[in-house]
Amino acid sequence: MSYVQGATGEWEMVIGLEVHAQVISNSKLFSGASTVFGAAPNAQVSLVDAAFPGMLPVINEKCVEQAVRTGLGLKAQINLTSVFDRKNYFYADLPAGYQISQFTQPIVGKGEILLDLADGTSRKVGITRLHLEQDAGKSMHDQSPKETFVDLNRSGVALMEIVSEPDMRSGEEAGAYLKKLRAILRYLGTCDGNMEEGSMRCDVNLSMRRAGDETLGTRCEIKNVNSIRFVQQAIEYEAQRQVEVLESGGAIKQETRLWDTGKGVTRSMRSKEDAHDYRYFPDPDLLPLKLDPAMVESIKKTLPELPDEKKARFIAAYGLKPYDASVLVAEKTSADFFEKVAKGRDGKLAANWVTVELFGALNRLGKTIEDSPVSAEALGGLVGLISDATISGRIAKDVFAEMLEGGKSAALIVEEKGLKQVTDTGAIEKAIDEILAKNADKVAEYKSGKDKLFGFFIGQVMKATGGKVNPAMLNELLKKKLA
């Protein structure tokens, strides 16, 4: 359990997240306008999106299927009847003066997500609901010193609002939740999870209470945080701010706050609205949405192997540690890459080369696994050469560095440079004899009890042979020579 230390004792965070995930679909939730990102401002706006009088919404079946698919991926209850409501508020980027959303009867009910934490442990976080709603437009305040511009391209784009239970207790857990949720959405193909482009946005609800107290405190909402790192930073700052207010005798105001990325602080935006402030009522232009159980069942049959199931299989099939398996399944592309590397080979060795050597190199080069200069097949070839003792692990690192540069196969590099491991017993014994003869004084010291010199002899033989000697054979033969 993670606590915040205040001047008068320990405090516990209570965190719930509301994630707005943009549905992958070619057109919007209630119109045929395109959803492609990056178009010129107001180039993808239908009469429905602009709220022209008399324009009626028509539900996009694909968006409904994507919501159901997501609910199934979250092991959640699918509600066969759901209702669209009007959520009334007045912003310049909301032409109708209301948002079509779902309130009392959402399309998806309770579910759960399993968090993978850094210490190797796991814990469940409940999902309260998932509902469909249309996005608002975008107000742009940086185009003019005196005016706000409005781009309605985003207006009407389908969103899934995924609301968690207040089950998280630290910034680390919130970060783990967002990573797992994003992974599930990407595996399902229902949202690309790109927070930088705004297709996944997060609202943080946070309150503080004394350690051991079960009573919930007054929460503040931190609105529209657009990266996992910023979510964690905002939580840490806001928790400390609330503790300082409470310990000084003040009271927390229920309000909406913004995260200032430049200053690293949360700032008050407005008093937090309650549901009644939005005057929800069923949208008179849309009938209740009724799902055919056969349609839900057909979607269930198309679900891919999701991160938790894939992680369990990697542990069982390849003998991986839970942490390594979690790293590999965090992105579907990484999991697929690993499986190609490991096919017919040592799974643990393959996992080590993917997570340590390859990921490290990609990080240095600023590349993703999709544009890796070393293919899965090529890396698998290198792992195979280590497994069959053609090269040592140390030589393999030099070969890998050359593979990153030139794109040649491991086998070709080893052949061209004569890097094959020496496994000839006679040749190894000869190299050992030469080193021992040159260091007779150290041999005497070793035999008198200085066991640490064994490593010195290993290093000298490796140096003399260019690192090509089989390490296991070298160890065994050197022990016999020094006995």
Read off the pLDDT of residues 22-49 as tens digits, 9 standing for 90 and up.
999 999 999 999 999 889 999 999 999 9
Domain limit, last residue, from 266, 282, 299:
299
Supply 5's token pair: 């230390």
Q: What's the CA gap between 204 and 231, in Å, rounded? A: 7
Q: How far is CA 404 from CA 27, 327, 375, 398, 410, in A?
A: 41, 22, 10, 10, 10
217 and 347 both lie in a single domain: no
The reply to whether 269 and 395 lie within a common domain is no
Residue 411 shares a structural domain with residue 454: no
- Sorted by sequence, the CB contacts under 8 Å of residue 72 that are 6+ apart come out as 78, 296, 299, 300, 303
* Per-residue pLDDT tens digits for 428-483: 777 888 888 888 888 888 887 888 888 888 888 788 777 777 777 777 778 888 87
- Residue-wise DSSP of 226-286: -SHHHHHHHHHHHHHHHHHHHHTT-----EEEEEETTTTEEEEEEEPPPGGGGT-EE-TTS
How many H-runs (helices) and E-runs (strands) does the chain carry?
16, 16
Q: pLDDT (tens digit, 9 = 90+) per residue, 242-271?
A: 999 999 999 999 999 999 999 999 999 877
Q: Please state, rounded to an integer, the average pLDDT across all residues of the chain.
A: 92
Same domain as 453, residue 328: no
Tell me which of 278, 299, 320 is where a domain ends: 299
Domain end marker among 263, 283, 299: 299
* pLDDT, position 346: 95
Q: Are residues 344 and 449 in the same domain?
A: no
CATH number at residue 468: 1.10.10.410
Answer yes or no: do 392 and 430 share one domain: no
Q: Are residues 313 and 458 in the same domain?
A: no
> pLDDT band for position 100 (50/70/90)?
very high
What are 474's two structure tokens? 């070298």
pLDDT of residue 423: 62
What is the model's pLDDT at position 1? Answer: 61
**H or E segment to which residue 40 belongs:** none
| Amino acid letter, 427 | A
Same domain, 144 and 43: yes
- Which residues does residue 186 pair with via DSSP β-bridges, in sequence order? none
Question: Which DSSP letter does residue 468 get?
Answer: -
pLDDT score at 466: 76
Q: What values do phi and psi take at 84, rounded to 5?
A: -95, 135
User: Which pair of tokens denotes residue 350?
Assistant: 């393959």
* Count of domains observed in the chain: 3
With bands split at pLDDT 50, 70 and 90, how would you rate the model's confidence at 421?
low
Same domain, 339 and 404: yes
Res 208: pLDDT: 97
Read off the pLDDT of residues 170-185 as tens digits, 9 standing for 90 and up: 999 999 999 999 999 9
Supply the range of the domain harboring residue 174: 3-299
Residues 275 and 338 both lie in one domain: no
Is 378 in the same domain as 402? Answer: yes
Q: Which long-range contacts (CB under 8 A, 24 or more apart) does 433-442 make?
A: 433/481, 434/464, 435/460, 435/461, 435/464, 436/481, 436/482
Determine the average pLDDT of the residues in 358-366.
96
Q: Are residues 293 and 337 in the same domain?
A: no
Calpha distance 388→382 (Å, rounded): 10
Please choose, from the candidates 94, 356, 292, 175, the residue with its C-alpha nearest in 3D space to the C-alpha of residue 364.
356
pTM, two decimals, is: 0.86
High-pLDDT (> 70) share of the chain, %: 98
- Say if CB 402 and CB 413 are below 8 A apart: yes
Instruction: Express each pLDDT in 189-223 by its tens digit.
Output: 999 999 988 899 999 999 999 999 999 999 999 99
